[in-house]
């Protein structure tokens, strides 16, 4: 696998080695050994999958301490724009984001460390989205930032006025009204 660094330290794009022939293709979607060596050691404990239609936007979600989560995400059917926003107080990249297109064709994966809000927009008729988490779901510390916050400067590649959001996601605060539970100086990126 090839690891592509982004403008925000710790947030990386992963491109697998694809072996294709007349029968189709094969690739190793995850190897703990290789991930630990090339990205960082992570103990993923839960896999999730969602299916959404065009225009659905999910996020920007996070879990607060002590149940923070890193995520390794990919789109196995269709196409999404996936985004990670740095919400670590004191971070030199606080409020900045990384966006990447994930699709069934490019097979890319995106690693979102702890201390980041995560979301995606569906760009195809249907998208099946999978992600690994390094902590279990803890609804009592589930949080988010508005996915429609224009101050973040995210081009979602769809008309936000036609976006389909859950009621919960429509209630998330704007970044300017948000008191982040994450502190850059506590090294959450490397926390277990």
Active site residues: 61, 131
Helix H or strand E encompassing 81: strand 79-86
Contacts of 78 (CB under 8 A, 6+ apart): 103, 104, 122, 123, 124, 125, 126, 127, 128
Beta-carbon contacts of residue 24 (< 8 Å; ≥ 6 apart): none
User: What does the DSSP 8-state code read for residue 32?
Assistant: H
């Amino acid at each position: 696998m090839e690891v592509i660094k982004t403008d925000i330290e710790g947030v990386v794009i992963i491109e697998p080695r694809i072996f294709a022939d007349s029968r189709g293709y094969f690739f190793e979607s995850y190897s703990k050994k290789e991930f630990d060596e090339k990205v960082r050691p992570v103990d993923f404990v839960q896999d999730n999958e969602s299916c959404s239609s065009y225009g659905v936007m999910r996020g920007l979600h996070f879990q607060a301490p002590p149940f923070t989560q890193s995520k390794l995400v990919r789109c196995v059917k269709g196409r999404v724009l996936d985004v990670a926003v740095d919400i670590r107080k004191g971070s030199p990249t606080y409020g900045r984001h990384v966006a990447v297109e994930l699709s069934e064709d490019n097979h890319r994966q995106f690693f979102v460390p702890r201390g980041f809000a995560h979301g995606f927009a569906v760009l195809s008729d249907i998208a099946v989205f999978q992600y690994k988490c390094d902590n279990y779901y803890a609804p009592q510390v589930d949080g988010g930032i508005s996915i429609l916050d224009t101050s973040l400067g995210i081009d979602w590649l769809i008309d936000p006025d036609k976006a389909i959001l859950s009621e919960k996601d429509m209630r998330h605060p704007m970044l300017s009204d948000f008191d982040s539970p994450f502190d850059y100086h506590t090294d959450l990126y490397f926390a277990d």
